Amino acid sequence: MQRRDFLKLSASASAVSCITACGSKDSDTPLPQIPEGSNEQVHWYGCSSNCTSICPIKVITEDGVVTRIETDDLIEDSSGNPQHRACLRGRSARQKVLAAERLTVPMKRVGPRGSGEFVEISWEEAYDTIHANLSRILNEYGNEAVYFPNGSGTVFSTMSGQDWYGAGVWGAKLMNLLGGHLGSYYGYSYAGVMEAYYRTFGTVEATGSSMSVAQESDLIFSLGYNPAETSTGGVAGQFQWQKAIDGIETIVVDPRYTDSMLSGSQWVPIRPGTDAALCEALGYEIITNDKADEAFLNKYCVGYDATTMPETADEGADYKSHILGLGPDGTEKTPEYAERITGIPAATIRKLAEKLWSAERPFVVMGYGPNRHANGEQNVRSVMMLPLLLGKVGLPGTNNGVLANTMYSLPWGIGISSGENPVKATIPFYSWLDAVERGIEMTATSHGVRGAEKLNSNIKFIWNHASNTLVNQHGDTYKCAEVLSDESKVEFILVHDINMTSSAKFADILLPDLMDIERDDLMINSGAESVLVIPATSKVKSIADGRSSFEVCLQLAKRFGLETEYAEGRSYREWLAYSYAVTRGFYAGYFPETATQLPEDFETFMAGEPVRLSAVMPNIALQQYIAGDGQAELPTPSGKIEIYSAAMQELADSFELEEGEEIPAIPKYVRTWEGYEDFETKKDYPLQCFGFHSKGRTHSSYHNLSWLRTAYEDAIWMHPQDADNYGVTDGSYALVASKRGTIKIKVKVTPRIIPGVAALPQGMWFKDVNGVDEGGCINTLTSLRTQASGKGNAQHTILVNVKPA
């Protein structure tokens, strides 16, 4: 069977699973109706798990018990104004509420840390214990000893969320009243993107064009972009619509044939972590065929060629010289050069380049996968070069290369301020385990400490809310477990969550949280091409004696004598009403039409259905800057788009780099440890391996629901050729090992992945059985090594071996 014939069959067979995941329904089949005389009630919520879609959830309850879950049926579905349909994850809320792993009462540890041995205690004892330990550690070590890991389990809810960046709004408010806490910068999803965007465009707010902008494009060129399995909701529908209905030619570069490639995409398989090499070769073709818009590049950018380079730069350090082989490495970045690295035939690269320069309005978009490699910043910067070379940014139908923005980033929780953190030192989010063991050795040049030259304390108190990053989602799970088990290092760990996760087992005090559908809140869906403001009103009777982060911090504030400063005289409900009023005023100022769409009275809004805002317009990346005709400025040191970053060159000159690390001032491919070209390590670990987000989880959320695991199998993907070579078969179990650990996992043999590469759905819960992780957590295999400049996570850079279990 020819490959193209197999892919037709594969796409056809996969269509059902993709449609289910994207939340589609048969328009001829009516939704169940509440029968007359029933006690059933309807209320709305938003799925707050961190896939960015925040899809509306219709929760039907009877006497406080969830009977069924539905989703957006408020409008007719259409291209450009799609319904915000929840996928299976959002629709599993009933199973999530009643999960066997739910934490229902406060507990304290009685066994060794990490053993999962706890006994029930009262809330009062829990608060008193936390207060005593926090007071002791602040007095003994200072405020830099207190740390809040990144967590995203409730990030998209106004009152209990915003905990993605450390302490959230309420934890940060309490700690700032107490003198502050050690902060962090960037995050697990897109550290490489934020660093690259910051160095190129001057801000960490990495904003691409709205997905609907691609309706005016004549070519979608994507790398590692997979909304059908990651974002779902309206974004996935919009992406598929533009291919299948609008007929826009779509090219997807990815090591896997994903569900996002259905409906007419061309698949270009690529070796993991080599995206920058492909972009260099595409740049070579564009430049040598006189298709680069040099007038645009010299007007809006610095560093394309020698004419716009800073005076401090070395000769030949510009981008054009590098591509043409006139730079320090002396290598022309031809398609043949890239073929050796990427595995993409040189002829294919030439055809891709021709398609790019022939398009009037190319929409270049990259998912987050390529940014989570050891050279992630360079993958991102190199992708962003493609539309810049062509001068096709800031125009209808175009994008700047980063992830498609779903709309303006509409804020939530306006008016609720945590205040200013008195502690100015921040660390890269991925270096917190280092700060546990050697915080006092961490400096600006050795570990990327910002806001201070060095740290004054190791981390001694960890407050982990709505997060499984202590063990499961961080790198090298066995190393994490080893360090956290040592009570002489971290002296107190507080975990506040809904489930007994892998991380929760390492708590000293374990607090039960409320689920999103178990509390009133305000949520804003900006995950599709229209926006819903959702009145999250709960009528669910929780099986847990849970408390929100607002309440937990309030009770601790009372014990510190700070209740008045913390609560400011408002209850939870009063803060929610206040935030609604401020948010409504904000929208009325920026989008006047919304003032009439959102009820003035808070209680009227909360009693109604989600309100769809129609005044918000799609965003075109860099539109204002390009429209300024070279007179407007970006917040970069030069005021222009920085192809050559003098700031990155300063980092290269000052940072203490490990052997083989490099911080280039221009976008370029960098050979890395455990990458395709690490031939020494490949002698023992010959397969490249990377993780991907499955439809059965959001990060590690929902993994405990067998209902979802039935819908989407957890298995390592291997090409038939590799399966034969390593003696495994479809459905069999394998031992997959890296330098750091071994997992036991089922095998999925499929031609939907390229030879020499294996892929694992990430987020499975770590489960140690005699030194082997039988839970299948990919981070048992990953490294704690960081990227060179932004110090982000390189969790997709792994070399492994495989043998039958």
From CA 51, how far away is CA 379, in angstroms rounded? 22
CB atoms within 10 A of CB 117: 12
- pLDDT tens by residue, 78-92: 766 777 788 888 889
Q: For 209-260, how does the pLDDT look when each residue is reduced to its tens digit (9 = 90+)?
A: 988 888 899 999 999 998 878 775 556 666 666 666 668 899 999 999 998 8
Query: Over 70: is that where the pLDDT of 529 sits?
Result: no
Compute φ and ψ for 311, nearest 5 degrees: -65, -25
For the purposes of burial, counting CB atoms within 10 Å of the CB of 303, is it exposed (0-12), middle (13-18) or buried (19 or more)? buried
| Tokens read off for 283 | 């740049």
Q: Across residues 297-325, what is the average pLDDT?
A: 96
User: Mean pLDDT across the stretch 531-554?
Assistant: 90
| pLDDT tens per residue, range 549-582 | 999 999 999 999 999 999 999 999 999 999 889 8
Q: Name the nearest CA neighbour of 88 among 534, 704, 763, 698.
A: 698
Reply yes or no on whether the pLDDT at 186 is more than 60. Answer: yes
Q: Which residues pair with 210 in a beta bridge?
A: 405
Mean pLDDT of the chain, nearest integer: 89
Give the pair of three-digit tokens for residue 135: 């007071």
CA distances from 796 to 221, 379, 437, 759, 787 (A): 22, 13, 25, 9, 11
Q: At what angle do helices 191-201 and 376-390 cross, to 10 degrees?
A: 40
Q: Are 279 and 383 in contact (CB under 8 A)?
A: yes
3-state class (DSSP) for residue 199: helix
* Mean pLDDT on 357-382: 96
What's phi and psi for 222, nearest 5 deg? -125, 150
Q: Collapsing DSSP states into helix, strand and coil, what is residue 760?
A: strand
Among 153, 777, 694, CA closest to 477: 777
CA 70 – CA 84 distance, rounded (Å): 11
Question: At 251, phi and psi to the nearest 5?
Answer: -115, 130
Average pLDDT over residues 541-547: 93
CATH class for domain 681-804? mainly beta
Task: Give the pLDDT band of residue 26 (cuts 50, 70, 90).
Answer: very low
CA atoms within 13 A on the CB side of 753: 24
In which residue are the tokens 């087992």 written? 505
For residue 358, what is the DSSP state? H
Question: What is the token pair recorded at 313?
Answer: 């730069």
Q: How many alpha carbons lie under 13 Å from residue 310 in its C-beta half-sphere?
A: 17
Contact 49, 89 (CB under 8 A): yes
Indicate whether 28 pLDDT > 50: no
What is the residue whose two structure tokens read 């997959």? Answer: 736
Q: 441 falls in which pLDDT band (50, 70, 90)? A: very high
In whole angstroms, how far apart are CA 566 and each of 179, 403, 559, 571? 13, 37, 12, 11
139-to-133, 134, 426, 478 alpha-carbon distances in Å: 10, 9, 20, 32
Pairing mode, strands 757-761 and 641-642: unpaired
Q: What is the CATH number of domain 107-181+411-525+530-613?
A: 3.40.50.740
d(CA 435, CA 437): 5
3-state secondary structure of 238: helix
Best CA proximity match to 244, nearest among 10, 404, 79: 79
**DSSP H helical segments within 635-749, as ranges?**
646-654, 706-711, 720-726
Q: Give the Cα separation of 159 and 777 in Å (integer).
A: 31
Q: How far apart are CA 407 and CA 619, in angstroms?
A: 6
Rounded alpha-carbon distances, angstroms, from residue 188 to 277, 468, 484, 738, 787: 24, 12, 20, 21, 12
Whether the CB-CB separation of 642 and 571 falls below 8 Å is answered with: no
pLDDT at 755: 98
**In terms of Cα–Cα distance, which of 489, 416, 497, 430 is closest to 464?**
497
Domain 107-181+411-525+530-613 shares a fold with domain 681-804: no
Residue that is written with structure tokens 């006994």 in the block: 119
- Lowest mean per-residue pLDDT among 38-47, 59-68, 296-305: 38-47
Contact 659/52 with Cβ under 8 angstroms? no
Distance of CA 572 to the CA centre of its chain: 29
Tens of pLDDT, residues 447-461: 999 999 999 999 999
Q: Is the pLDDT of residue 13 over 70?
A: no
Q: Which of 414, 417, 416, 394 is nearest to 590 (CA)?
A: 414
Of 13-22, 44-53, 580-589, 654-663, where does the model show the most confidence?
654-663
Terminal alpha carbon distance of the chain: 31
Alpha helices in 712-804 (DSSP H): 720-726
Q: Give the C-alpha separation, 173 to 6, whole Å.
A: 56
What is the band of 614 on the pLDDT scale with cuts at 50, 70, 90? low
Token reading at 273: 């972590």
pLDDT exceeding 90 applies to what percent of the chain? 69
d(CA 130, CA 124): 10
User: Tokens in use for 339?
Assistant: 């073929």
Tokens of 266: 């061309």
- Give ∠ CA 686-752-475 in degrees, rounded to 5: 50
Distance CA 365, CA 217 (A): 12
DSSP 401: B
Give the residue from 210, 300, 199, 252 showing the smallest Cα distance to 646: 199
Beta bridge partners of 445: none
Domain ranges for the chain: 107-181+411-525+530-613, 681-804
Look-up: residue for tokens 């910043």?
Answer: 377
Backbone φ and ψ of 167, nearest 5°:
-85, 0
Nearest alpha-carbon partner for 443 in 451, 455, 432, 435:
455
Answer yes or no: are the C-beta atoms of 73 and 55 closer than 8 Å: no
The 10s digit of each residue's pLDDT in 699-732 is 898 999 988 888 888 999 999 999 999 999 999 9
In whole angstroms, how large is the CA radius of gyration of the chain? 26
Cα angle: 177, vertex 179, 183; to 5 degrees? 105
Who has greater pLDDT, 215 or 737? 737
> Could you please report the per-residue DSSP string of 245-275?
TS---EEEE-SB--GGGTTTEEEE---TT-H
Conformational region of residue 660, where left means phi above 0, alpha means psi within -120 to 50, and beta covers everything else: left
Q: Can you give the pLDDT at residue 732?
A: 98
**Residue 182 near residue 145 (C-beta atoms within 8 A):** yes
Q: Which runs of consecutive H residues, i.e. helices, occur in 560-645?
A: 563-567, 572-590, 594-597, 602-606, 623-627
Helix (H, G, I), strand (E, B) or coil at 656: coil
Give the pLDDT band (50/70/90) at residue 781. very high
pTM score of the predicted model: 0.92
